[in-house]
């Protein structure tokens, strides 16, 4: 786990969302979507809904990228 990872990116069990993304070899866009999902409602001054919308935007971009390949 990364030592300087903010708390809103860590789970109660101590998993770091970035380490999970690396373990699953996620694309950058998918990893960022996971980041937004995991932090939804936890980061100060960010609404849960806004984080989910950001995740959806990242996934939409990944879908578009895959369709263009």
- Tell me how many helices (H) and strands (E) the chain has: 3, 0
* Distance from C-alpha of 33 to C-alpha of 18, rounded to nearest angstrom: 11
Instruction: Say whether pLDDT at 2 is over 90.
Output: no
Q: What pLDDT shows up at residue 11?
A: 61
* Distance from C-alpha of 41 to C-alpha of 10, rounded to nearest angstrom: 13
Q: What pLDDT shows up at residue 42?
A: 87
Write the CB contacts of 32 (distance below 8 Å, at least 6 apart in sequence).
55, 58
Q: Name the percent of the chain lying above pLDDT 90.
A: 59
Q: Angle at CA 45, nearest 5°, toward 43 and 46?
A: 60
Q: What pLDDT shows up at residue 52?
A: 97
Q: Name the percent of the chain lying above pLDDT 70.
A: 83
Q: What is the pLDDT of residues 48-68, one digit of tens each?
A: 999 999 999 999 999 999 999
Would you list the domain boundaries of the chain?
A: 9-68
């Amino acid at each position: 786990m990364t030592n300087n990872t903010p708390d809103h990116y860590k789970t109660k069990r101590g998993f770091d969302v970035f380490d999970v993304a690396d373990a699953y070899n996620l694309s950058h866009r998918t990893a960022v979507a996971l980041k937004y999902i995991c932090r939804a409602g936890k980061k100060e001054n960010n609404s849960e809904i806004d984080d989910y919308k950001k995740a959806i935007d990242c996934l939409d971009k990944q879908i578009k990228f895959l369709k263009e390949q």
